[in-house]
Structures are given as C-alpha cells and as structure tokens.
Structure 1
Amino acid sequence: MARGGVDADVVIAGGGIAGLATALALRRAGVSRDVVVLERHAELRDTGAAITVFPNGWFALRALGVAHKLTSRYGAYDTSKVTNLETGATQVFRFAGNKASSEEVRVRPIHRKALLQALAEELPPGTIRFSSKLVSIDTEPVANGDSSEIAVVRLDDGTVIRAKVLIGCDGVHSVVARWLGMSEPVSSGRSCVRGLSVFPSGHRVKFEIRQFLSEGLRAGMMPICHTDIYWFLVNNTVPAGNLTLGKNAFTEKEAAGDPIKTLNEVTDNIASHMPAEYLEVVRHSDHDNLSWAPLLYWNPWSLLTGRAARGAVTVAGDAFHPMTPDMAQGGCSALEDAIVLARALSRAATPAEGVASYVTERRWRVAWIVAGAYLSGWVQQGGTNVSGVRGYLVKLFRDLIFYRFVFPKLADTMWFNCGGLTPRKEGKYHLE
C-alpha cells in the first residue's frame, strides 16, 4: 500500500463515555499527547439522556480528575424502593450495604451529556474529530522491520490514519470488535424504553429511586434535578407485529422511530397499569431523548475466551463487554476500562504488551459484571418469558431471597476501585 495519510500515536474509535475517558486517561497517565478520537456524529451524543454513576464510576472519574465537577451538581442516593404491583409489597435496599461511603463516592444519576462535556473539556482542542466514521481497518508492518504492526484505519471521507494503538470504543456493534473476530452480542429477550421528562417549572416527585414490578415488566424513575426526571421501562421483547393501538399493528423497531407512538404504547398499553405518578412522568418526556431498543449482551464465557486484542488493537466499553443495564454498570465499567488500559500502556515496554496486559486484567471482572447484570434483570422481571410453576418459583426467589441476600453481593461489584494514574512528567510521553 502506498504511503500517505495521517500518522497518530493513538486512534480511538467512538466519542462516547468510553472513548473520551480513555483519551483523557492516556494523557493523564503520560502515554501520549497525540490522541485522535473519531466521533461519527457532528457533536457530542446524549443518547440515553441519563446515566447512574455508582462508586466504581466515581473512583475512576476521580482518577481522571473530573469527579468534583459533577458531584457538586448532582444529589446522591443511598437506597432504592421496589414495589411489587402484584402483591403491593415494597422493599427498600441499600446500595452501600455495610460499606462506608464518602460524600463524593455515592450513587448519583447525572445527565449523560454533562459527563461527556466534563471529559471533553479536559482534552486539547482538536482531539475529537467529529463527523468521522470508521469504515475499515488494516495493518502494515512498522518501518523498522520488527514484528510489530501499525493499524491503518480508513474513514468514510477517504482519510487514512496510521496508529501505533487503535482502541475501539464504538459501541455494541463495534467495527473494531468485528475486525478482531469478536462475536456479535445476543438478545436478552428483553427491551427497554428510556426517557427524560422535563418539568420547566419544577416537579413534585420525591427525590428517591423508585422501581415497580409486574408480570414481565420492570419500571423505574429517578429525579436528576428539580426539573428533570429519568425513567425507564423494561419489557419482555414483544414478537414482531404484536404491538397494537387501535387497528394498527407494528413492531418495537417501528415504534422506536416514532416518539408519539412509543409514548402512547407505554402509557395506553404496556404500562397502563403502572402508578399514576409514574405515567404522569412518562407523559412529560422530551421527544428528543426517548429510545426503545432490545437489550443485548455478550455471553460471559465469550468474554473469557474471545479475542479482545490483536497486537496493539483492542476494545473498551460496550465494544468489549456489552451488557444489560440492570446494574447500571455499562458506563461505570467503561470508565474503569479507561483507567486500566491507560495504566497498562504507560507501564509496558511495547503497546502490544500493554494491550495484552489490559485485556488479561479486565476479562474476569467484566465477565462477572455482565453475568450479574443479566441475572439481576432476569430475576427482577420474574424470569424472561417464564410462566407457570417455574415463573412462580422465580418470583418467590426474587421476593424472599434476591433483594435480601443476592443483591448485596452484586452491589459489592459497584464498590470496586480500579486505582489511580501516575501523572506524567512534564514533557515526557511514553509513546513518543
């Protein structure tokens, strides 16, 4: 292949939480100042509207030096109330268990875009290249003739970039993961509607995390601030064509592309029996921050055995370990990835060794989180598409055992401290 194009130390595909956090971590750890983040959209994305950051996420944000910018803006929660609409029983469980928490390291729902902006404003201008879509990846040997390779990425505008390190932070259907040979994520059998409701004059909803359970459904809402409330509804995926309003039949995918249709389906059909307070919140949804999508995940065994690296090419965030949102660990684990990857690259003799060390360190933890999230969602919803005696036993386990004994164990994973980053010496970068 003829020479040409642009050279970079590190190329990161994807400008979401994983991508921006990784770019910042690489600079904080002194890996490289020559980092390019490719974001296919024209601006920072706020898809998902909100994210709940647990202690492990705050530990990572503290290592990145941005936690203080967010904890001062958002209130913390210590407990969650879960009401079983079939029995009327309400259980309260603590996120912290027996662990002591500082004011900073607590559970906080925050605006996703606020997190992205907090990370982006710490990066030098020009680090994020917007409207840049990765379309293909290749490799070529380095000029000095040793066994290492350079990643060659091509963008949809024809630009070619050669990178010493390529990190795929490009989401569930990652181009980089596919190039590495990682399998596609599979369906959990459930889907989720997510929304952000806005009350310009302020809402009257109590500042607490509420969840509601019924047959095949789990709904929840949590105020983010005095005007905004994040809400969600997890349902067993409805077979194609089985959603109906009036005489019209349509699919979840079709409804997802139409905010009015989505909201009507939630309030008038799927969740019509939910508490009036919840439905009132749903009706105030911002149409630009509404989504309905199947919940995908990667089999934990695949995480332990799959190929997540080739030379100095690897993945992070959803591209590495797609998971269901039932423990709210997608964003938090992506923040952990950023710290661990940057630290591994800063200490390794070669980029390939750093990447290999990172993958080895992360495999078992993310496999456990993916498994825990899937189990948590499956049990809380009463067993996905399970009925009869089996369904009754799952619900009995959920109501009598899961919240009291199992959830506290799962919550321990949310208190993991991924460690810090050694600040670079002025003027010294590891890859230069």
Structure 2
Amino acid sequence: MVEVGEEIVIVGGGIAGLATSLGLHRLGIGSLVLEASDNLRSAGFGLTAFTNAWKALDALGIADLLRQHHLRLHGNVTNSAISGLQTSELPFKAEGKQGDHEVRCVRRNLLLEALAKELPSGTIRYSSKVVCIEESGFFKLLHLADGTILKAKVLVGCDGVNSVVADWLGFKKPAFAGRYALRGCVDFKCSHGFEPNFMQFFGKGVRSGAIPMDDTTVYWFVTWTPSSHEEELEQDPAKVKQLVLSKLGKVPDQFRAIIENYELDGFKPLPLRYRHPWELLWGNISKGNVCVAGDALHPLTPDIGQGGCSALEDGVVLARCLAEALLKEPTGETKEKGEEEDQKHEYERIVMGLRKYAKERAWRSIELISASYMAGFIQESHGKMMTFLRDKALVGFLAGFLLKMADFDCGKLIIS
C-alpha cells in the first residue's frame, strides 16, 4: 500500500478540528482534516457561546458572520422547579476582565459550516475513519478504514470522547458522570415569544432550560440522574418523554409545551461523560508530534456551557503554537545538514510547539472540568439541605461562576 505524505493531519471534523485547521490556514499553514462521517457533524443542535468563545471566533475571523444570525442574550434567569419562583437574575451586561459579557446561543451546524467554508477546497476528507496509528521515524502512519495509509509530520486528535488518538496517548476512556441529557431545537416559524435570556430551572435532581437562538428558534435541554429502573427505559423514546415531563416540576407552560410537542425521535438520552481532571496532571496531552484537543482532551459535563467554547480556545492556541514551531527559520548550521538532520530538527521544533500548547491548556482544562462537575453536582442535587442552599444562597454564586469561567481570552493568531 502506498503511503501518502501529509504535513498536519487533524482527526475529527468537529469544532476543535475545524477551528485548529482554520487557525493554521490563517497563519499560512495547510492541514488535512479527517472526518469519519460522510458530512459535517451537527449533533447537539445548539452551542451557548460565551465571551471566551467570541474571543476565539474573532481571532479566527468568523465571529461577525455568526453574530448576524444569533440574538445577544441579556442575562441568566434561574427559577426553582419546586416552588416555581424565580431565584436569581444576573445580567450579562456586567463587565468582566474582557469587558461586557457576550453570550449568544449558536446553531452548531452554522458554526461548523462557517468554519468549513473558510478552509481551502479539499481540506476536509469525509468518510475517513482512523483504525490504527503507527510510529515511523519522525512520522506517524495513520491506517484508514478504506485501506489508505497517511504519513503525517503532525497528528492532532480532535475525535471526541471516543478518541483513537487519546487512546494512543494513553488516556483512559472518559468516565460516566451518572447523568443523562436530552437536547433539541424548535423552529416556531414565527416569533417564539421568549425573552432573550438564558433560562434555567432546577429542582428534584433535574436541570432544564431554554435559550433563544434568534427570533423564531429556541434551543432546549434537560439533564437528570436516572434511577436503575429509569435507565431501563432509555431505549423507548415514548417512555423517556413521559419520564422527562414528569420530572420537570413547576416550569412555565411555554417551556413545558416545547417538550410536550417535540418529536419522539428527539428523546434518546445522551450519557454525560467527563475526564477525571487528575488524568491531565500525569497524562500526555502531547507526546512527540501528537496531541489532542477538544473533547478528546477535556470532555466535560455541560453544566457551565464550556464544551464548545473551550474547543474553540484549543483551536486558536494549538494553531498558534504549531505555527510558531513550523514557521521558525532553521539556523544556518541546520541548513547545511542533510535531509534526515533537517527532519530531526523540524521534529524537535514540533515537539516543543506541542509541549507549549499542552502546558498552556492543561490547567485551563483542569479548571473547566472541575468547575463543570462541581456546578452539576450542586445544580442537580435533590436533598433538602442542598436544595435550600442552592435556591437561597448558591444560585447567584453559580450564575456568577458561569460568567467567571467564560471571562477568558485565548489570544490572537499572531506568532511571536
């Protein structure tokens, strides 16, 4: 079988993979993105893009395009699903380190399309599943399901929670958080009537909410901890729908109607998974000329809305670190060496670039994983004491905490 040489191969055409590829493209470096499916992935429907995501999207040059199609949210409004009363309201106008907070709920497919549209033709190769990774000197050999073998100078794994690349680096499979999620998107075809707020409802072990995307479309979600009996129902959408409706509690009729009228095909529970943060302390975010980003690096629960946002951060930082390594001019002494010596020096620069990326993203990833898990624990606890503390004292803290985690700038695509 003939080996096809490639500079940078990115496994996974989701948010992290496309953001990394576009970041590299903006810096004048080409890459090949391998996507296992036969088209762009759009699972998840919506993405709550917080301030840190817009900083990354600005750096990538597609933020203004997406702003045109999505409402800017005014604030976070939290209600108790037990009493039906509002427990907290936090305006997003409050200024952070990065200025006023910018929050919009973005259609995931529009985000992926915007990223892909800016890439050169042929950058994304669909129906390309990686089945095996091998070492070959300063290169990595990627064996694809169709028999193709790619020889890569740099391998980036952006292939999600079941990452082949993360597995090669020695990471364990992400742990089950003990909770399930349902999410969907409803296009009302006319004005939906929801205020432009991030609306959340907490009570009896359930977190639910609705977020307007634009004037006619609303994204909704429900997360809960199932009993052993409830887990047996997950294969029956009709029973899952009835279960979820019974768990919502005292929520506005306008929100309940969305769940009641949603098609049955949307009631397939998604198990929530996360990586234990301590794995990033002793694991290999990068090893040689290989690294991971996005969910392959830091799968986290959705409780602070940072999964997609942090994947965009990863893409910008990784592109910047790789470009610094690859575009660095070799010394005069290196220029006079042979091809093998040139490859060695380039490999060493790549290794240093990926180590820089890993160092920059490690603590940020640990912080986000830990914060998401803690927020989820508080939000979905249903003991009397924790419910009282959450609704009376912690709910405002949680809303502010959500903004604090988003008050971050990954930097621009500028090489130092």
TM over 0.5, shorter chain:
yes
Query: In the aligned structure 2, how far is the partner of 1:5 from the partner of 1:60?
Result: 35
Contact 1:266 1:272 in 2 (8 A): no
Trace 1:168-187 onto structure 2 (pairs within 5 A): 168-187=157-176
SS in 2 for 1:242: helix
What residue number does 1:263 align with? 241
- For 1:180 and 1:403, the matched residues in 2 are separated by 39
Q: Of 294, 298, 310, which residue of structure 1 is paired with 2:287?
A: 310
Kept in 2: contact 1:198–1:285 (CA 8 A): no
8 Å contact kept, 2:181–2:269 = yes
SS in 2 for 1:184: coil
AA matched with 1:15: G
Using the TM superposition, give the Cα deviation of residue 289 of structure 1 relative to its aligned residue in structure 2, in angstroms. 5.8
2:62 is the alignment partner of 1:70: no
- Which of 411, 417, 423 is matched with 2:403 structurally? 411
- Which stretch of structure 1 is more off in the superposition, 210-219 or 415-424? 415-424
Paired with 1:12 and 1:377, the residues of 2 have a C-alpha distance of 31
Q: Secondary structure at the match of 1:87?
A: coil
Q: Kindly indicate whether the alpha-carbon contact (under 8 Å) linking 1:28 and 1:422 is maintained by their aligned counterparts in 2.
A: no
Which of 191, 197, 200 aligns to 2:180? It is 191
Q: Which residue of 2 aligns with 1:400?
A: 392
Give the C-alpha shift of residue 407 in structure 1. Answer: 4.1
Q: CA deviation at 1:195?
A: 1.1
Cα distance in structure 1, aligned partners of 2:196 and 2:359 = 40
CA offset at residue 423 of structure 1?
7.5
Contact 1:177 1:320 in 2 (8 A): yes
Q: Please give the secondary structure, in 2, of the residue aligned with 1:342.
A: helix
Per the TM alignment, residue 25 of structure 1 is displaced from its structure 2 partner at its CA by: 0.7
Q: Deviations over 1:352-390 (max 9, x none)?
A: 11111100111001100111111111101126xxxxxxx
Question: Which stretch shows the higher mean deviation, 298-307 or 62-71?
Answer: 298-307
Q: Deviations over 1:204-249 (max 9, x none)?
A: 333322211110111101121232211011111332x436xxxxxx
**Taking structure 1 as reference, are residues 345 and 236 closer, same or farther at Cα in structure 2, changes over 3 Å only?**
same
Counterpart residue type for residue 130 of structure 1: Y
Matched, 1:251 2:251: no
Structure 1 length normalisation: TM-score?
0.85
Superposition deviation, residue 102 in structure 1: 6.5
The answer to whether the 8 A contact 1:48-1:289 is kept is: no
Give the match for residue 361 of structure 1: 360
The structure with the greater share of residues assigned to helix is 2
Out of 206, 209, 217, which is 1:228 matched to? 217
Q: 1:333 to 1:302 in 2, by over 3 A?
A: same
Q: Does residue 322 of structure 2 align to residue 339 of structure 1?
A: no
Q: How far has the Cα of 1:273 moved from its partner?
A: 5.4
Alignment check: 8 A CA contact 1:237 1:294 kept: no
CA offsets 1:105-125 (integer angstroms, 9 cap, x no match): 610001000000110000011
| Equivalences for residues 61-140 of structure 1 within 5 A | 61-90=57-86, 91-95=88-92, 97-99=94-96, 106-140=102-136
Q: Distance in 2 between matches of 1:313 and 1:13?
A: 11
Helix, strand or coil at the partner of 2:122: coil
What CA deviation, in whole Å up to 9, does each residue of 1:31-61 have, x standing for no partner? x22x111111111111001111000000000
1:290 CA drift (Å): 5.7
Q: Point out where structure 2 has 5 or more consecutive residues left out of the alignment.
A: 329-348
One-letter identity of the residue aligned with 1:366: S
Q: 1:38 matched to which residue of 2?
A: 34
Query: Residue 378 of structure 1 aligns to which amino acid in structure 2?
Result: F
State the Cα distance separating 1:304 from its structure 2 match.
Answer: 2.0
What letter is aligned with 1:112? R
CA contact (8 A) 1:96 1:411 kept: no
After superposition, residues 367-378 of structure 1 pair within 5 angstroms as 367-378=366-377
CA contact (8 A) 1:199 1:284 kept: no
Q: Say whether the 8 Å CA contact 1:195–1:286 is kept in structure 2.
A: no
- CA–CA distance in 2 between the matches of 1:409 and 1:281? 28
- Alpha-carbon distance in 1 for matches of 2:268, 2:19: 24
| Alpha-carbon distance, 1:179 to partner | 0.8
Alpha-carbon distance in 2 for matches of 1:415, 1:101: 6
Distance, in Å, in 1 between the alignment partners of 2:69 and 2:136 is 47
Report the CA distance shift for 1:286/1:95 in structure 2 as closer, same or farther (over 3 A): farther
Tell me, yes or no, if structure 1 residue 421 matches structure 2 residue 409: no
Preserved contact between residue 71 and residue 215 of structure 2 (Cα < 8 Å): no
| Distance in 2 separating the partners of 1:214 and 1:272 | 7
Q: Secondary structure at the match of 1:131?
A: coil
Match of 1:293 in 2: 270
Q: Which residue of 1 aligns with 2:230?
A: 242
Aligned to 1:20: 18
Question: Does structure 2 retain, via aligned residues, the 8 Å contact 1:52–1:109?
Answer: yes
Q: How many residues align?
A: 393
Give the Cα separation in 2 of the matches to 1:285 and 1:125: 37
8 Å contact kept, 1:47–1:289: no
1:330 aligns with 2:311: no
In 2 relative to 1, CA 94–402 (structure 1 residues): closer, same or farther, beyond 3 Å? Answer: farther
2:56–2:411 Cα contact (<8 Å) kept: yes
Query: What percentage of residue pairs aligned between the two structures are identical?
Result: 38
For the residues of structure 2 that align with 1:230 and 1:286, how far apart are their CA atoms?
Answer: 14
1:166 to partner: Cα distance: 0.5
Which shifted more, 372-381 or 318-327?
A: 372-381
Task: Report the aligned-residue RMSD.
Answer: 2.2
